Amino acid sequence: MNSYLSDSKLRLKILQVGDEMLRAKARELSTAEILGRETQTLIENMKNTLRDAPGVGLAAPQVGVSVQLVVIEDREEYHKKLSQAQLAERQRAPVPFHVVINPRIIARADTTAEFFEGCLSMAGYMAIVPRSNTLTVEFLNERAEPVKVEADGWYARILQHEIDHLSGVLYIDRMYCRTLTTLENMERFWKDLKASEVRSRLA
């Protein structure tokens, strides 16, 4: 790993689309590596970077480290711009900070949901992306302990988005291309419409 990870107070640079690192498959971490100082410092720096952005998920390749490590946190304060109806439609609730290492999706529902999605590595843009509404994921936490999670709704979407990063996949590979929009135009034209209505207008 990189020597700059020795400082546990860093806010790391988030790579932007077009950087080769974002298209590479990340390698798994061994137990010894997970418990080692460099990985533990990386986790702390990624947490600081995620909160500073702010965002709900960040994968190690996004900060230039090609390992299978993700940090996730969906804070209640991030929900303020959404109505109760929108939160219910998205099945979105606060998710506490946690670490996902060497994840494997072992089950995925056939049913999908479509919502606008953004990415810290494609700042300033959003698009409608279909994702499985429910999935089961096995991974290791920051103590190298096995964890199994059954996720649905928005949390399932975050997991899929971040796990995609570990295989060099971005949401633009899965989006409905005609729905790509700037954040400014998202707020101006589309924020109060259902995904199906947006797609219908842009068809």
The answer to whether residue 177 is domain-embedded is: no
Q: Where are the alpha helices (DSSP H) in the chain?
A: 31-35, 37-52, 84-90, 153-165, 183-185, 195-202
Q: Exactly one of 162, 184, 187, 197 is catalytic; name it.
A: 162
Total structural domains within the chain:
1
**pLDDT, tens only, 95-111:** 999 999 999 999 999 99
The answer to whether residue 190 is domain-embedded is: no
CATH number of the domain that 61 lies in?
Answer: 3.90.45.10
Q: What is the mean pLDDT of residues 167-186?
A: 97
Residue 76: active-site member: no
**pTM: predicted TM-score of the whole model, two decimal places:** 0.94
The answer to whether residue 145 is domain-embedded is: yes
Domain limits for position 54: 3-109+133-170
User: b vs e for 107-142, b when ≥16 Cβ sit within 10 Å of the residue's Cβ?
Assistant: ebeeeebbbbbbbbbbeebbbbbebbbbbbbebbeb
In eight-state DSSP terms, residue 72 is: E
The answer to whether residue 11 is domain-embedded is: yes
The answer to whether residue 124 is domain-embedded is: no
The answer to whether residue 163 is domain-embedded is: yes
110: tokens are: 């056939």
Residue 3's pLDDT is 44
